Amino acid sequence: MGLNLYARIEEFLDFEEEVRRLHKEFLSILFHKQQNNILDIGCGQGAFLQHLKFNDVQAFGIDLSSEQIKHCKEKGLEASCTALKDVKEKYDCATAIFDVINYIPPKEIPTFFNEANLVLNQGGYFIFDVNSLFGFEDIAQGSLNINLEDKFIAIDAVFEDEKLTTDITLFSLSKNGLFKKEQDFIVQFYHKLAFLKKALNDAHFEIEEIKNFNLHSFDEADKLIFVCKKK
């Protein structure tokens, strides 16, 4: 799946305001729960890690994209290209922000939740967001073209069979004056509320709260934020 290609175009997608608002909500939850030893799962280029560092919160990030981790290290952040199952340390809280859970196929969710439980100290928190059905059907679908001086980006996202497939095409200007074409895709999955509740319970998490969150300016929530505690 094209996570590294997505990492190279992410800064041009103009999601900064949405990401800032979502991070602010997560920070509010963490401060309310007084969490100070955090594993950020799917940390991306480290934007949330930067917020935590600025607020003197101890945190470490992991991501499956080496390209994203390279950005983290350039910012002086503690992060590693490591799968959750390979994390040996224990944390008081784990976060998974901005669609991380939606990248995981349904059949792998129970294992992922169990792995999240294992990296937490007793009574630790697992806090994550997922896209609602409205978020997939009415927000995420569509096409986007970005025309810059040295690159052209084309994105086409289609939601069907409870799966959002986003095709990415990048044309980059090379030193010889010609454009190099790269293509890949990413897939996100819609997870029903009942399915997530059962998987969390089976992984020995208690759901303390499920918050509706409007990432975009609509009346209906396009995201749900889960605040869960290790039993």
Report domain extents, the chain.
3-132+191-230, 135-189
Average pLDDT over residues 102-106: 97
Class of 3-132+191-230 per CATH?
alpha beta
CA distance 170 to 193: 35
CA distance 163 to 133: 10
| pTM of structure | 0.92
- The answer to whether residues 200 and 226 touch, using CB atoms and an 8 Å cutoff, is yes
Task: Count CA atoms within 13 Å of residue 71 on its CB side.
Answer: 20
Per the structure block, which two tokens stand in for 203?
A: 């992984």
Domain 135-189 has CATH 2.20.25.110: yes
Q: What is the pLDDT of residues 16-66, one digit of tens each?
A: 888 899 999 999 999 999 998 999 999 999 999 999 999 999 999 999 988
CA distance 155 to 167: 6
